[in-house]
Every structure is written in structure tokens, then in C-alpha cells.
Structure 1
Amino acid sequence: MTSTPSTSEASSLDIPGFPPPRSSECPFAPSPGMRALSGYGPLTQVRSWGDSTPWAVTGHAEQKALLSDARLSVEFSRPGFPSPVDPAHAHAGSADLSFVGMDDPEHARLRRMVSGAFTIKRVEAMRPRVQKMADDFIDAMLDGPEPADLVRDLALPLPSLVISEMLGVPYEDHEFFQTNSKSIVSATASPQERGTAHTNLATYLDELVGRKRTEPGDDLLSGLCTQIENGELTRRQAAAMGVLLLLGGHETTANMISLGTLLLLQHPEQLAVIRDTDDPAVVRDAVEELLRYLSIVHLGRRRTALEDIEIAGRTIRAGEGVILLGELANRDPAVFPDPDRLDITRDARHHQAFGAGSHHCVGQPLARMELQVIYPTLFRRIPTLRTVDGLDTVPFKYDAVIYGLHALPVTW
């Protein structure tokens, strides 16, 4: 086993900093600084927030193994957890992170209460409704002023409406939760600003859960109220789940819609394949490749080691932080030949865009279905779609932990 320095020893060495800034020269790919981490091997220590030295995992196989390893904890309050937020402010304004910030068995218990709503069978039953939403938003965009903003007019409202209907959240409140979610995922917002935004959403969802307990509907939040009545869930926990699903249900998908659209506009020959095919399998493969290629989670999936873990010739000591970098795992040439080439015909199903193990994204079937609907629909409905200005004028979200676009001016 290769000897590795302890965290205290590593602090005196010249080790790479994290996170490296994204580069406007490669807006769809990891920055040169991020790519350089792979040159240290599949596992290396980095200097990060608060001068800590967590492990950065860049290899696909190592990441998959560690994401399924119960010896790693997702609880961000543990000492050594790699976080840009000062531990003193870790809970600022927020009740909790629901099950996404819990280890098993509590994580599994709470997750089961909502996972049934996101099965492939349930999600596929929603496809006609999502198709209708997509067509309606595109109709409105075509009837509106030109140029349009694809983010404002389509990428944000579509997944917002979908998750609102699933949860039973009034869609007329979408600007409120979009504004607050933007603060929560901002890399430049202060802990106080993020805490206030989380409190706003938690309070809103708590009040909505209260109404659902007396006036239930056929929606996910009403189903959680049944768990409250059975004593399996508190009202606060139900509200926290609502915040998590509301955030996860629109923020990531919205960014994938806009960023994927812009990327395909740069590759018209591959866009044409998606636009012209009648084969759902072709669209499914294209979506998987876009998820692999774009990898929109910026700061990795973060963990703390509960025990010593030996992997890839290294030893992660108990109490050390771990950052699993999906954008590098998804460009591992051992798994994806010629990984920097966009190829919508490749088999990209082994990507890590949704994580792996027990904490993989619960809403991934929904996200996949929405993307499978929106890309071909958009390009068929507007075959002459194009950006207003050059790529260098597009406002990318360099300031957010979920990568995407602030706006995408388009015309046709």
C-alpha cells in the first residue's frame, strides 16, 4: 500500500487548490485547473475551504466505489466535512437538509416516503402532460416578443410547473421559490443570505403542509401528511422534504435544458439527429451523453470518512473529507473513449451525473423524461432556432454551484 501523508503533513506540501475557477475559454467543459487534478491520479489531496485538505476523487471506478461505501458520511455537520460554509453557519436559517444530508438508516427511511412518486412507471405516465406543457410554453414563446430568453420562457417554467404539480405547490408562487432557490445555490451568496432564502422556503412549505393536512389533494405533499398523522414524520420534516424536492425538481433540470440547448446549437449535425429521429432510443442516448458531457454539479459530492478506507493505492483516514468530482469521472478515458468529444450516439449510461449508491438522485427518472421531451420538441417546433449573439456574450453561471445559464437570448 502506497504511503500517504496525513492531513497535517499534507498541509505543508505544495498541493493543488480547490475549487479551481471555471474558464470562459471552455464553458462546456471542466476548466484547465479542474482537469489538472486528474493528472495526480484517481485520488489526490487538495487544499480547499478553510485551508483543509480533503481528498479529490477524479477516477470513475474509484468514485463509483466510494459513492456506494457506507464508511463515508454525507452529514455536513461532522468534523472534517469539506464545505464552503463555515461550520458555525452550517445550519443558518434552515431546519435541515432532509434525507439528502442524512446517513442510513434514517436516510433510507425518509427517502422511501417519496421515492414511489419517482418510479419509471409513474414518471412515464406523466409524459403526455409534460409534452403538453412543453408545447404550451413554446407556443407562448413564439407568440411573444423576439428575441426571447429561453431560460425565462422555457427552461425555468417547464420543470417548475412539473414539480409544482407533483408536490401540490401553487404554480403562481413559482417566482418566489425560484428567487429563493437561486440564492441557495449561489456560490457568491453569504451564509446569511442562503440561510434567509432557506428559511423563506421552509416557512412557505410548512404553511402549505399545514393546509394540506386539513385540505388534502392528490399530490406528494398530501401523501406526506398521511405519514405525519401516522407518527412516522414530523411536520417540520415534511416541509424540509418539500424544500429539497422543490429545489432539486427544477433547478438542475432547468440548467440542463438551457445549457444542453446551447451546446447542441454549437453542434448542428448532432442537433439534427435529435430533431429528425422518430426513435425514442436515439433521444434517450442523446440525453445520457448530454448529462455526461455537461456534468452541471460544480463542487462535487462531498463526504467525510468514518473509518480508514484504502483505495487506489491511497489511504483516506477517518475524519478526512472527500470530494467526488463527477465532471472528471464523466471524462475518464478508461470508461468514455475520446471523452472530450460530444457524441450523442455513444453509450454514456455509466455517467455519474446523478451520483451512485444509496444517495443517487431520487428524481433522475423525472429529469431524464423531461429532457427527452424538451430537446426534440424544441428543435422540431423551432427548426431555425439560434442564439442572438456569439457564445462569448452568453451569461454562464460561473457564480453558482449548479452550472448553467443566467439567460439565453434566442431568435428564429
Structure 2
Amino acid sequence: MSETGAIPLPNIRPEGRPFDPPDDFRRLCAQEPLRKVSLPDGSALWLVSRDQDARRVLVDRRFGTAGTPDLLRPAGPDLEARRVGNLLRLDPPEHTRVRRLLVDAFTPSRIRGMRADIERTVSDALDALERMRPPVDLVAHFALPVPSLAICALLGVPYADREGFQRRTTTLLDFARPTEEVAAAAAEARAYMADLVAREREQPGDGLLGTLVRDHADALSDAELSGLANHLLEAGHETVGAMLGLGTFLLLREPEAADRLRDTEDPAVIAGAVEELLRYLCVIPYGLPRTALTDVAIGDHTIAAGDHVVVSLASANRDEAAHDRPDRFDPDRRPTPHLAFGHGTHHCLGAQLARMQLGIAIPALLRRFPTLSCAVPPERVRLRASSAVYGVAELPVTW
């Protein structure tokens, strides 16, 4: 793909504005919704910044994810091994085959059945937090433990192993980490999950891993099962944890919105606020890059076969054509469809579980600690600006 006329890929968040996409996106969305951008390694791809075009790319099967390079990080020698079993790296019909094996675990009734356990997990985490002397890092002691417990229970992964998988996931998602570190973390993750899969083959447990072994023993190889479990484990705790941390940080700077969430018992109000947090913050700024399988016309441009395309989910969620006053955080906004969970074939399988956790955890946190506040000036809150999942690295709080 030609690099002529390419501009640098915009940073995830502008300096001093932790909740907003880069200013470049506002201009691109209005003037150049399809724009060639360059990556640090000198390669180039098309950036999609408008909601309408983003939705089209995400559902169009003329764009594939299988075999697409890891465009935001130099490819390591084990890139293909890291893709095995990863739903995001599969195209239909292979994607359809694997995803069909998982749908029973994520039905609305199954998710509703997890509510009492999630409420208990949140309450226990708040109890533990209350016993600590502030300042306390909310990420380490609340935002990460809550979704980690939930996904461990769902999959059948020992929660006692959380320190290891959280550390590995942080490394795997950080574009600034050296390739050697990423490869080592990926190999460690595969080895860990391969051992767990072997134990499940011997004696299946009650979690999703055990169910897949019992009901679909021949449908997935050990490598596929390990890759799939690692993908669900990483996505299940990292994205919700990032939303809990960054969402709390935002609400501490929006006291009226925090008061409204603290004082309401109305499920519709809570659900609306969660949707607005998801849209406004969009902790996954970019979708997975895709490759054009044939020439595709979008607007005035033709994406040539073999060209790579990446969708800016964060920009699409701030598109004025799709959302009224999109740069305003409004928890009472009438929910409008957003792209925080992607769209189309690769729409997040655990979206409803994520929504439930956020809708339980955030109001409970605000009620338990009505005087919750940042223990450091906002500008000193450390951000994960080089991570594929954006958020706060630490959130010191007091009460």
C-alpha cells in the first residue's frame, strides 16, 4: 500500500484530556472520514472515523481479519500461534463454527443467572476496600478484581492465578513493550492455559472450559481451546476493569452525574448511564485491523484488495451525524447505538455480561463511599495511553 499522503495515526488520547479522542478525529470525521495514515514502522493503512462507514466496514465480509498483520505492533515470530483460537482473528465460516460453541454460555438467561454472584463479588470487594486505610488504588482493589472473579467463575479458571494472567494481559496489550517481552508473555499465557486445558480434559469442571470439553470434545483442538480461553479471559477482565476505573475517574469529575447514579434505584436510569459511559469513554479506541479481500468502494475512495483498514471506534462514537452533542457526557441521554462493543460478526460476545457488571459495580461503589474522591490531582492520574485497551493505570482514591 502506498504511503504517499499518509498522516501519522492519531494518539489514543490528547495530552491533558483523558476522556476525549484526539482533535484530529473531529476534523477527519467531518472532512476526511476515510484517510490514509502511517504507522511507526512506516507502513500505512486506511483509517475509518465516521459511524456510518465504520458500521459498513465491520459488517462487510469483503474485509477479513484472518491473517491480518498485527499492524499496531511489529509482528513477532509467534504471531500465528497467538492467533489460534482467537475469535477476533477468525472469519466465517470458521468464526461461525467456534462462536456457535459458546453462545449457550452467554444467553440472556445465563447472564441474568449470574447477577446474584456478581452482586456478592462487588459487595465483598467493597468490604475489603472499606477495611483499608486510604489512599487506595481503586484499579488494583476494585476495578480489576470484580471482572476477574466473574470471568474466572464463568470459564473455570482459578482466581488464585489472577496476578499472573493480569500481568501477562497488560504486557500483551501494550504497544510500547518490546516485541521480545510480548512474545514471552504470549508463550507464558499459552503454556498456562494448555496446562489448564489438559487438566480439564482429565476431569472437566463446571465452568465453560469443562462444558466445552464434555460437550464438544472433538470440535476444538487443545491449541484452539487454549487460545479461545485465553482470548475470553483477557477480554473478560481487561475491558470491564478499564471501564470501571476510567468510568469512576470521570464520575469523580462529574459530581451531578455521580449523585444521580448513587441515589437512583431505577434500572432504566442505571442502564442509560452505563450506555453513555460506554459510548463516551470507548476504552477500545481502535477495532482490529482488517484486510480488503477485493476492491471495495467507500465514498469517493476505493480500498484496493490487500489494503488494510482500521476503524476508530472512539471517533465513530463521537460522530455528530450519529449522536446529538457527542462531546457532552450526558447520563440521561436517550441511548443511541454505539460501537463500544464493535458491530457485526465480531460484536462482543460478553457485552451483556459487561453491562451487568458495570450497572452493579458503579452505583454500589458510589453508595458505599459517598465522599469518594481522587487522592491526587486529576492531572497526576496515570493513564494507559499505549494500551490497546485504554484506561487509568492507577486511580488513588480516598473517602
Could you say which residue in structure 1 is the equivalent of 2:310? Answer: 323
State the alpha-carbon separation in 2 of the partners of residues 19 and 32 from structure 1: 9
1:355-370 matches, within 5 Å, as 355-370=342-357
| C-alpha distance 129-345 of structure 1, shift in aligned 2 (>3 A) | same
Could you say which residue in structure 2 is the equivalent of 1:4? Answer: none
Whether contact under 8 Å (2:12, 2:285) holds in the other structure is: no
Please state if 1:178 is matched with 2:166.
yes
How far has the Cα of 1:235 moved from its partner? 1.1
How far has the Cα of 1:60 moved from its partner? 0.5
1:87-126 matches, within 5 Å, as 87=75, 89=77, 91=79, 94=82, 96=84, 98-126=86-114
The answer for unaligned runs of 5 or more in structure 2 is none
The answer for unaligned runs of 5 or more in structure 1 is 1-6
Query: Please, which moves more after superposition, 336-345 or 312-321?
Result: 312-321
Whether contact under 8 Å (2:286, 2:314) holds in the other structure is: no
Could you say which residue in structure 2 is the equivalent of 1:65? Answer: 56
Whether contact under 8 Å (1:228, 1:234) holds in the other structure is: no
State the alpha-carbon separation in 2 of the partners of residues 175 and 327 from structure 1: 29
Whether contact under 8 Å (1:93, 1:195) holds in the other structure is: no
Could you say which residue in structure 1 is the equivalent of 2:378? Answer: 391
Whether contact under 8 Å (1:82, 1:322) holds in the other structure is: no
Per the alignment, in what secondary structure is the counterpart of residue 82 of structure 2?
A: coil
Give the letter for the 1:170 counterpart: P
State the alpha-carbon separation in 2 of the partners of residues 236 and 316 from structure 1: 34
How far has the Cα of 1:88 moved from its partner? 5.2
1:318-351 deviations in Å (ceiling 9; x for gaps): 1111010000000001111111100011123411
State the alpha-carbon separation in 2 of the partners of residues 69 and 402 from structure 1: 24
Size of the alignment, in residue pairs? Answer: 399
Please state if 1:40 is matched with 2:40.
no
Whether contact under 8 Å (2:173, 2:387) holds in the other structure is: yes
Please state if 1:352 is matched with 2:339.
yes
1:231-275 deviations in Å (ceiling 9; x for gaps): 211111111111001000000100000100010111111111111
Whether contact under 8 Å (2:25, 2:49) holds in the other structure is: no
1:16-31 matches, within 5 Å, as 16-20=7-11, 22-31=13-22
State the alpha-carbon separation in 2 of the partners of residues 88 and 401 from structure 1: 17
TM-score under structure 2 length normalisation? 0.96
List structure 1 runs of 4+ shifted beyond 4 angstroms. Answer: none
| C-alpha distance 287-399 of structure 1, shift in aligned 2 (>3 A) | same
Query: Please, which moves more after superposition, 298-307 or 286-295?
Result: 298-307
How far has the Cα of 1:312 moved from its partner? 1.9
1:182-201 matches, within 5 Å, as 182-201=170-189
| C-alpha distance 88-381 of structure 1, shift in aligned 2 (>3 A) | closer
| C-alpha distance 62-95 of structure 1, shift in aligned 2 (>3 A) | closer
TM-score under structure 1 length normalisation? 0.93
Give the letter for the 2:227 counterpart: A
Per the alignment, in what secondary structure is the counterpart of residue 233 of structure 1?
A: coil
Taking only aligned residues, the RMSD between alpha carbons, in angstroms, comes to: 1.6
Could you say which residue in structure 1 is the equivalent of 2:210? Answer: 222
